Structure 1
């Protein structure tokens, strides 16, 4: 137990370092995810969208035992309200065709399933979330039940 202390420690100017980060590009496909956190921010606007609030959601995916984080931007604007609805349905907060008051405090720790794809920007390949699947429409995996044969006793 770390008694509330953060992991790791401060490095000195002359310390030796070794740890590196491996940048993982996930193959396109469907993945289970957990929302690690979100940040509130501001989108400054573009030719197609006026300035508005934005949330940058950190989506964690376990891939071969490694945690891969994908940052996903959600614009808080009526022009893209359907995308917000898709995200909140994906984490189970919103039900189909029902209004929802967004509850951001409940977002971290939420789980769901999404479709991951790749895109190329400035010659580099990145993962991006293409779709969040509605949590209330996901198939339920049947629970394993022991084989019961009433004639065996």
Structure 2
């Protein structure tokens, strides 16, 4: 049975009854295995009053799931598609097994869901509250697995790279999958 049939998430009505309390989990700083569970394409737009160093550019908002002794949590991690942050992009794709050190890689965003890797989690403070954030993604050869604080996730896609399919132009005036 596929996950969509086991998923009981739904839209709530304005007059529905709710009972589930917040399940916020703050993980201790350290190294963790993660699974990529989502990705959103977005655009980074600098604040005009405080533009910072990064100009306007595309960004991927990657959602990762971490299962630890403290519980299960999902973090969002921004990956900016800009030459100044290329090293962070390389580290992400290396962490999930798509890139090797020193070798070029065409980023394949369609193949990241379900991929697993190891990242360094830290804590940041915002408005007096502590939150977890991804500090860095780790190349597999740089991970000291004795220091990873959770067990490796079980994923059907772990270690498997789907073969690249050649892109073919659409025939008949419509895109594949349109109907």
Could you say whether these structures have the same fold, taking a TM-score greater than 0.5 normalized by the shorter chain as the test?
A: yes
- Give the total of aligned pairs: 141
Unpaired runs of 5+ residues, structure 1, are 142-153
Note the alpha carbon deviations across 1:91-134, whole angstroms, 9 max, x for none: 11110000110000111101011111101122221111112111
Structure with larger Rg? 1
1:95 aligns to 2:100 (yes or no): yes
CA contact (8 A) 1:89 1:136 kept: no
State the 1:66 CA deviation. 3.0
Unpaired runs of 5+ residues, structure 2, are 147-179
Mapping of 1:1-153 within 5 angstroms?
Answer: 7-9=8-10, 11-45=12-46, 46-64=51-69, 66-138=71-143
Q: Which has more strand, going by share of residues?
A: 1
Q: TM-score, normalised by structure 2?
A: 0.70
- Deviating above 3 A after TM superposition, structure 1's stretches of 4 or more consecutive aligned residues are 1-6, 8-15, 136-141
Pairwise CA RMSD: 2.4
